[in-house]
Structure 1
Amino acid sequence: MMLFFKAVKALGLLPAIYAQAGIFKVEESSSASPSSSASLSIISEEIAEPSSSSRLSEIEIIRGVNLGGVFLIEPFIRPSLFDQFNSSDTSDTPVDEWTFSAALGKEEAKRQLEDHWDTFVTKDHLEALAENGINWIRIPVGYWAFNLTDDEPFVDGQLPYIERILGWAQETGLKVELDLHGAPGSQNGYDNSGHRVTPEWLHARINVDRTLDALRKMSLLAVEWEDVVYGIQVLNEPSRWKWPVADILEFYNEAYDLVRGITNDVYFMIHDTFLGPNDWSTLVSSNWTHALMDTHIYQMFDNYIITLNESAHINMVSTMAENVTRFDRTNIGVVVGEFSAATHDCTKYINGLGRGSRWEGTLEYVDHPLCPFESCSCTGDYGSDYTQFSDHYKRFLRRYIDAQLSIYDQELAGWFYWNFRTESAPEWDYLLGVEQGWIPKFPRTAIPKSIEEEVSATDL
């Protein structure tokens, strides 16, 4: 079957094969804007037996960036989408993609989201990433792009835009990880799952089945774009506080069998559920092949770590990475799937729309400011206007990023920065950070003269 698939691809016969199999294929050139009226059908048939390829053994270190907030919108990445509501009754204000779509209705939500999909990420962005030494992108996608029911407020139509990005990645030499970022019922209750609600994902088998169906269709998309898609993450940040790790592991094993039943040519990627990769040493199946454990390392969401001074934040990098670098399963590597330059939570909506910050002491359950200074204010170095950043702070950001990359880039399978761009969150904006000099290009570049200053250890 696989030989047949290769043959028809070489002969240019795939469109007809895909049409018969129910697999979409966008015929426009990759630089064209996808049409919302394009004739697409949902992937519904497996068309190739899994191959056995050695290509995954030959891949260099992953140096990646997330395309977050594109196909699963998050308030802190693009606050303007949510600021349009400006309701005095915060109980009715949309806080995630579910409530955003419900508030606007499907027709208007689709109009706004199609404009967002069409403009928020462009080929120029991917070319800039590649020029700066990035070799992978991670594309977070909600399940509703693949499996949407009529009673859900979400809208679909993402697939032609995803394919357009895959085409750009192909042209710019970027490898792609497809990341299922939101599951039915919400796997964690965060807005980054698409629905900020008490998570119900594993409470109903139908949710698991729909998740697996989305993964099946995602895997078939990977087969279609086999020269571009090199990884599939089966679910982002499932909550171990809500469900036993054993239950999440059972899902991972089901997902592994499903993905490997379709393709062996992608990395099978799982999230550590914030348990820490080293704690998974005895849990992950020794039979898994080409598997990666995804861990996310942030220093601003912990009530103690956020109180540290700059020097302590840099020292904390190696402390937090220790559990990761000690992971000793020989059949599974570790990649830091998310990290950033931020050490504060002043960023607008970073804790969720309508919620405050630990930094200023306005977050629920925080009874006093937690910044390391006598006066705590989300302005200046800790505000949203990077033109107000001091040279000292930009120097710290560079040292903080260098400290992280010195570990992630040398001792692990690689990393993905979160995020490629934002509207008003400078420390989370990779392209801005490179432009301003606090994120290095690859091969590693020196600190730009514009932000050089002599900073002693005691100053930090």
Structure 2
Amino acid sequence: MDIRDNYGAGKEAHLYGTNLGGWRGHEPWMSPLAGASNEWDARNILADRFGKEAVWELYNTYWDSWITETDFKNIRDAGLNCIRLPIYAHNHMDDEGNWRLDETGAIDLSRIEWTVNKALEYGLYTILDLHGAPGSQNGAHHSGRQNGALLYSSPLYQNQLVEFWEALASRFKDNAAVAGYDLLNEPSETFPRRMGDQVVSLYDRLYQAIRAIDPDHIIIMEAIWWWDTLPNPQQKNWENVVYSLHYYQWQNNEDFTVMKNAVDGWIQDAQKWGSKYNVPHFIGEFTLFGNAESWNYGLQQFTETGSHWTTWSYKVMGRNNWGMYNAAEQNNVADVATDDFNTIKYKWSQWNTPEYFSPNPTVINAMQKATSGRNLKRPTQAFSAKLEKQAEPEIVGMAN
């Protein structure tokens, strides 16, 4: 149940990090979007008002502001070695499946490549997380689209999904700074209820498509919300996979006893099912809310029991203790329905971390304590770019 370096034959490699949430896909509760409740509606509103190409000018301004080089340094300095990068398919492909191309005529994945390369400069691995799939994998605002989980009823969207992952695998198959491919964020045919067989079928189709291109990178599959929604990987002949769960204890979460019990339960389930399935446990998203004791206990327990984790999220507007960096002030929130073009562009240029966000010592201190002295594996320019499967252990994904 280990992730190991040196082609799977070396030392254990543990992933501890955070999500770059609210960046490549707005979530209005945590990032500066008003006038629409999701990306799909926001972009349609902006395109109707200003034209499709103007939408790209506005979004490029926002993307240049929300995450800059400073942020990768902040993440490294918190004792972390990994980022999970939420990706929204419509940043790269339109609703009909037409790719956005760069000036050379190639599929434009430049923002993803920039992130992977900048993370590498600061000793951070990147997990590629498809947060918003074509048609939406759950119909929730954080998928980018709220008019239904259309992915499951549309062969067109399913084909786009496969093509999207084939493009990512082709581009990153020889890049050992990418720690793994997180296939779908919180997928469910009946979200927020548990996922069913259609998700597992899509996972299998994506697994086969990716493995035809990239036999080596870790593939991450999310269980929503329980381990038993995923099959034993041996039944599917899935190799080099990691199972992921997201943990949010919504009730009485300022009470340390409540949170301690939640953490203990999550770990017990992970040890039971991880052993049964012989897969590592990756906590792709979680928060431990406002109690510092909960953060210290939770991160320490996750780390000491062998789990891999990325908090939700790196920076958050207007909600304390969800971010490593928080912005209490909610100025410069662009209203895409009423603000004029120049106002939106100006407001979206004003969200860099050093000027508008404050570090959250509750979270950062707990991270530093949990990872201190662990000699974390980090990618370097000297790594071997080709990954390779080993018979024992089966879980590999980071080259030395």
Normalised by the shorter chain, which TM-score bucket? 0.7 to 0.9
Displacement of 1:181:
0.9
Report the TM-score when normalising by structure 2.
Answer: 0.73
- What is the CA deviation profile of residues 162-213 of structure 1, one whole-angstrom value per residue up to 9, with x for unaligned ones? 2221121121111111011111221111111110122121112111111011
Structure-1 residue corresponding to 2:316: 422
> What residue number does 2:37 align with?
95
- Sort the Cα spacing of 1:115 and 1:271 in 2 relative to 1 into closer, same or farther, 3 A: same
- In structure 1, the residue matched to 2:249 is 299
**Kept in 1: contact 2:20–2:86 (CA 8 A):** yes
Higher relative contact order (CA 8 A, sep 6+): 2
Question: In the superposition, relative to structure 1, how do residues 445 and 228 fare at CA in structure 2: closer, same or farther (>3 Å)?
Answer: closer
**What's the CA shift string for 1:275-322, capped at 9, x where partnerless?**
x1255354664622221111000012xxxx348844323323213443
Q: Letter of the 2:272 partner, please give it.
A: R
- Structure having the higher strand fraction is 2
**Inter-partner Cα distance in structure 1 for 2:197 and 2:234:** 11
- State whether structure 2 residue 88 is matched by structure 1 residue 142: yes
Any conservation in 1 of the 2:95–2:134 contact (CA below 8 Å)?
Answer: no
Please report how far the alpha carbon of residue 228 of structure 1 lies from its aligned counterpart in structure 2 after TM superposition. Answer: 1.3
Aligned AA for 2:361? Q
Match of 2:154 among 197, 204, 209: 204
| Structure 2 counterpart of 1:390 | none
C-alpha change, 1:405 and 1:310, in structure 2 (3 Å) is closer
Q: 1:442 aligns with which of 349, 361, 368?
A: 368
Q: C-alpha displacement at 1:216, in angstroms?
A: 0.6
Q: Which residue does 1:114 correspond to in 2?
A: 60
Question: Secondary structure of the residue that 1:296 maps to in structure 2?
Answer: strand
Residues 270 and 445 of structure 1: CA distance in aligned 2, closer, same or farther (over 3 Å) = closer
Given residue 81 of structure 1, which amino acid in structure 2 is its aligned partner? L
Q: Tell me the amino acid that sits aligned with residue 168 of structure 1.
A: K
SS for the counterpart of 1:148 is coil
Distance 2:367 2:254 in 1: 28
TM-score (norm 1): 0.64
Backbone CA RMSD of aligned residues = 2.9
Tell me, yes or no, if structure 1 residue 266 matches structure 2 residue 217: yes
**What residue number does 2:46 align with?**
104
- Measure how far apart 1:64 and its partner are: 1.3
Cα shift readout 1:90-134 (whole Å, capped 9, x = no counterpart)? xxxx11000010111123322221111111111111011112211
State the one-letter code of the partner of 2:18: V
| 401-410 or 427-436: bigger deviation | 427-436
Residue matched to 1:69: 22
Q: Tell whether the 8 Å contact from 2:323 to 2:363 is kept in structure 1 after alignment.
A: no
Asked whether the equivalents of residues 254 and 291 of structure 2 are also in contact (C-alpha less than 8 Å), the reply is no
CA distance in 1, matches of 2:187, 2:110: 27
Give 3-state SS (helix, strand or coil) of 1:65's partner. Answer: strand
Give the secondary structure class of the aligned counterpart of 1:249: helix
Q: Provide the rounded CA distance (Å) in 2 between the counterparts of 1:166 and 1:268.
A: 17
Aligned equivalents of 2:141 and 2:368: distance in 1?
32
Alignment length (residue pairs): 324
In structure 1, what residue type is equivalent to 2:180?
G
Residue 169 of structure 1 is matched in structure 2 by: 119
In 1, Cα distance between the equivalents of 2:264 and 2:271?
9
CA distance in structure 2 between the partners assigned to 1:162 and 1:57 by the alignment: 28
- Tell me which residue corresponds to 1:333: 280
Q: CA deviation at 1:148?
A: 1.7
1:261 is matched by which residue type in structure 2? Answer: A
Aligned to 1:60: 13
Higher Cα radius of gyration: 1
Q: Which residue of 1 aligns with 2:337?
A: none
Structure 1: runs of 5 or more not aligned: 1-52, 86-93, 343-395, 447-460
Q: Does 1:181 align with 2:131?
A: yes
What is the Cα deviation at residue 143 of structure 1?
Answer: 1.7
Q: Distance in 2 between matches of 1:438 and 1:185?
A: 34
Give the equivalent residue in structure 1 for 2:305: 411
Identity %: 22
Q: Kindly indicate whether the alpha-carbon contact (under 8 Å) linking 1:56 and 1:265 is maintained by their aligned counterparts in 2.
A: no
Distance 2:18 2:141 in 1: 20
CA 256–76 in structure 1, closer or farther in 2 if over 3 Å, else same: same
- Give distance in 1, aligned partners of 2:207 and 2:27: 28
- Pick closer, same or farther for the CA change 1:142–1:63 going to 2, 3 Å: same
For 2:262, which of 316, 338, 342 is the aligned residue?
Answer: 316
